């Protein structure tokens, strides 16, 4: 069945581990696509996950066809989400995964492109900014159709923490983390708002700079704290990936801090990194350039340098 002719949205998920399955479960519960194909090097795992997920379909908000497939199913996919690869072990940084996951990715992308796939890629595997670059290079697709989950999860973590701190619905909190999805990321406090008030304009009695800094450090290090306790993080990233998927398939033109290719923006090029970008059915419509202050600019530049240095041996 050619899903494009029938205007059916087909999403293929590569990697049915903890992150992939959290994404799949959330996709079904939010009724986002009509077809969801699961692929994993461990075929028994993707088969078992498809069987289990199918049993919940009578309770889903809309019909969805879920099956364990092959790379041939990628041909007519609108979106391919990659969560395959190795995850961080306790104490390991995301950047330490680079060599092993780049090797896995080169093989996966070759298999996908051999199917004739011509849609959009969404990458979550770590280190996500570098693997998004690898996906772009290996696929040969236009840069706007290769997207990394970037700092979408980190920005969500920041919004959650600020919402709790100010006792405000997180949907009324706007705050962005940009840079590498990892140790060198940074918050853009100058663009943060809670309710209708800009954070920086709050009176001193409402705004404690030290607690803001603590909030950021906890957000930056959240994955380490969770991995120490339960071995992996997956629900938050699963829901973040669904949020990006909806922005694409529903042509939302919404702003999310995805990992995007920089072509001169922020004074950098030839790197994928988390920045606010407008997302729609074509992928990344545009990268939004925030006017960073001097300190933020230095931190962002450092993040780019770290990514480029780490990328050198594998690109
Ligand atoms: N971007 C983010 O914000 C974010 C958040 C959490 C985790 N992650 C990353 O997501 C990735 C997956 O994490 P996880 O916890 O789901 O790991 P996991 O070990 O539970 O799952 C990984 C899956 O990938 C499969 N796989 C490995 N090689 C493959 C190949 N060549 N082809 C197809 N499938 C293959 C494995 O069989 C496994 O099922 C990790 O790199 C992790 O660091 C990213």
pLDDT at 143: 98
Mean pLDDT, 10 residues at a time, over the chain (315 residues)?
68 98 98 98 98 98 97 98 91 87 97 98 97 98 98 98 95 97 96 93 84 95 95 97 98 98 98 98 98 95 97 87
Query: What pLDDT sits at residue 1?
Result: 47
Q: Give the per-residue pLDDT at 205.
A: 81
Using the mean position of ligand 1's atoms as its centre, give its distance from the Cα of residue 115 in Å: 22
- The DSSP-derived string for 106-160 is HHHHHHHHHTT--SEEEE-SSSHHHHHHHHHHHH---GGGEEE-TTHHHHHHHHH
Residue 95: the pLDDT is 83
> For the whole model, what pTM was predicted?
0.96
The atom of ligand 1 lying closest to the CA of 97 is 41
> By the 8 A CB rule, do 135 and 121 touch?
yes
Domains defined for the chain, CATH in brackets: 3-148 (3.40.50.720), 152-311 (3.90.110.10)
Distance 25 CA to ligand 1 centre (A): 16
Question: Which position among 55, 165, 181, 302 bears the catalytic label?
Answer: 181
Pocket probe for ligand 1: among 40, 71, 273, the residue whose CB has the most ligand atoms within 8 Å is: 40
């Amino acid at each position: 069945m050619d899903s494009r002719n029938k205007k059916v949205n087909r999403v293929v998920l590569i990697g049915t581990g903890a992150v992939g399955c959290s994404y799949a479960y959330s996709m079904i519960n939010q009724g986002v696509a009509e077809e969801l194909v699961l692929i994993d090097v461990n075929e028994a795992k993707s088969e078992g996950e498809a069987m289990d997920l199918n049993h919940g379909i009578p309770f889903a908000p809309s019909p969805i066809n879920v099956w364990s497939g092959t790379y041939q199913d990628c041909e007519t996919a609108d979106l391919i989400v990659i969560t395959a690869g190795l995850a961080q072990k306790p104490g390991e940084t995301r950047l330490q995964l680079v060599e092993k996951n780049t090797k896995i990715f080169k093989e996966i992308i070759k298999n996908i492109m051999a199917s004739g796939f011509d849609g959009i890629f969404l990458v979550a595997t770590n280190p996500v900014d570098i693997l998004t670059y690898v996906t772009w290079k290996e696929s040969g697709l236009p840069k706007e159709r290769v997207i990394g989950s970037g700092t979408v999860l980190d920005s969500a973590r920041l919004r959650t923490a600020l919402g709790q701190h100010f006792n405000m619905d997180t949907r009324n909190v706007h705050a962005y983390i940009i840079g590498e999805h990892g140790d060198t990321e940074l918050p853009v406090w100058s663009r943060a708002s809670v309710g209708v008030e800009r954070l920086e304009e709050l009176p001193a009695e409402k705004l404690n700079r030290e607690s803001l800094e603590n909030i950021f450090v906890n957000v930056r290090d959240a994955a380490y704290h969770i991995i120490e306790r339960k071995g992996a993080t997956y629900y938050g990233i699963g829901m973040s990936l669904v949020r990006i998927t909806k922005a694409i398939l529903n042509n939302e033109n919404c702003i999310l801090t995805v990992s995007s290719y920089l072509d001169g923006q922020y004074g950098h090029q030839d790197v994928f990194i988390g920045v606010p970008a407008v997302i729609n059915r074509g992928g990344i419509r545009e990268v939004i350039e925030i006017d960073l202050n001097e300190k933020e600019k230095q931190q962002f530049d450092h993040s780019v340098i770290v990514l480029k240095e780490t990328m050198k041996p594998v690109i």
